[in-house]
Structures are given as C-alpha cells and as structure tokens.
C-alpha cells in the first residue's frame, strides 16, 4: 500500500461522520431506480469541505445509460462545486457488502485517489478499504499532465 493510502487510513472518519454517511447511503437506496436489475444501491460521499452528497443507481431502458449510485453521488458533489472526495460509503440491501464497480473506482480516483471506501449491507458484515487498494497504479489526471508537459510547443 502506498504512503498516501496509509495516511488516509491513519485519519479515519469520526464515528459521527461515518454514521451520517451510512445513513445517507441507506436513505438514497430508497430512491434507486433499478427496474431492470432489481439491485438497488445507495451511496454517500464526504467532500473535503465536510459536506455529504448522496446518490442512487438510475437505470435506463437503454441499458448502457444506467448510472451507478457512487457516480450519482459524486456528480452531485461536483455540480455543487466540490472537487475532493474524502470518503465514499456504499449500501446494498444484501447479505454481503458490495464494492464499487470498476468504472466507479476510476471516477472516485479522479476526485479522491486516497478516499476511504466503506461498504455496508443488511447484515453486520462490512468492508473498509481505500481507493488506491481497489485501483492500484490508477490512470489519472497526472498522466495527462505528463503528456502535456512532454508535448512540443
Ligand atoms: N451498481 C451501482 O450502483 N454501484 C456499483 O458499484 C455496482 C453496480 C448498480 C448498477 C446497476 O444499476 C445495478 O447496480 C446492477 O449492476
């Protein structure tokens, strides 16, 4: 695990913030629009300004247009002017926790490469990790910066 990931883990969420995020993720799942998969998901992200944004999955009759809960929450945060994600809590009404899909890992990386990721469900099981462990050696904004720096004028 890299140094940034360890630093993120050494600054855990307060129990109060964690409870608020979990409550927001669980509440958001109630708004899920998932008629095709029947798999509701809720997510809540904490930004570096201390605000919480929630989202649910939103499916579409044109299947590929569906949006995951994590991305709905992150896009709400970005639309509100936020740019840094500290933590993301995911809730699914399942017996085991669900981790963010690959696409969502990439989107979380854009705004929170060191974000804490917590997954909760309907049992006492839960998962907790950091984004950099879920998406090691991620492609991100820095890669494009290098390309631009290397470009001839
Ligand atoms: N889904 C999420 O919302 N987040 C994930 O990380 C995994 C999958 C949604 C997408 C789709 O609406 C349903 O779950 C089934 O894949």
Domains and CATH numbers, the chain: 3-148 (3.40.140.10)
113: number of Cβ within 10 Å: 21
124 or 11: which leads in pLDDT = 124
Residue 69 has pLDDT above 60, yes or no: yes
**Exactly one of 22, 59, 70, 82 is catalytic; which is it?**
70
Predicted local confidence at residue 5, as pLDDT: 47
Nearest CA residue ID for atom 14, ligand 1: 39
Residue 106 has pLDDT above 80, yes or no: yes
Report residues whose beta carbon is within 6 angstroms of any ligand 1 atom.
Answer: 34, 37, 39, 41, 57, 59, 66, 68-70, 100-101, 104
Q: How long a stretch of residues is the chain? A: 153
128 given a catalytic annotation: no
Q: What is the pLDDT of residues 19-61, one digit of tens each?
A: 999 999 999 999 999 999 999 999 999 999 999 999 999 999 9
Q: Give the whole-angstrom CA distance, residue 100 versus residue 31.
A: 18
67 C-alpha vs ligand 1 centroid, how far in Å? 7
153 C-alpha vs ligand 1 centroid, how far in Å? 43
Residue 24 neighbours by CB under 8 Å, 6+ apart: 42, 44, 52, 54, 89
Q: How confident is the model at residue 12 (pLDDT cuts 50, 70, 90)?
A: confident
What is the overall mean pLDDT for the chain?
A: 92
12 C-alpha vs ligand 1 centroid, how far in Å? 26
Model pTM score = 0.90
39 C-alpha vs ligand 1 centroid, how far in Å? 7
Residue of 37, 62, 68 to test ligand 1 pocket, by largest number of atoms within 8 Å of CB:
68
Predicted local confidence at residue 145, as pLDDT: 86
């Amino acid at each position: 695990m890299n140094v940034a990931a360890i630093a993120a883990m050494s600054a855990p969420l307060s129990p109060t913030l964690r409870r608020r995020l979990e409550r927001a993720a669980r509440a958001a799942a109630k708004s899920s629009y998932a008629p095709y998969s029947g798999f509701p998901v809720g997510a809540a992200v904490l930004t570096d300004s201390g605000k919480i944004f929630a989202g649910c999955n939103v499916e579409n009759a044109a299947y590929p247009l569906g949006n995951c809960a994590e991305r709905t929450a992150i896009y709400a945060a970005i639309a509100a002017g936020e740019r840094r994600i500290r933590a993301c809590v995911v809730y699914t009404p399942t017996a085991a926790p669900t981790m963010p899909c690959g696409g969502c890992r990439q989107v979380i990386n854009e705004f929170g490469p060191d974000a804490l990721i917590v997954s909760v469900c309907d049992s006492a099981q839960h998962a907790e990790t950091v984004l950099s462990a879920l998406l090691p050696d991620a492609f991100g904004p820095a890669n494009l910066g290098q390309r631009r720096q290397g470009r001839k004028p």
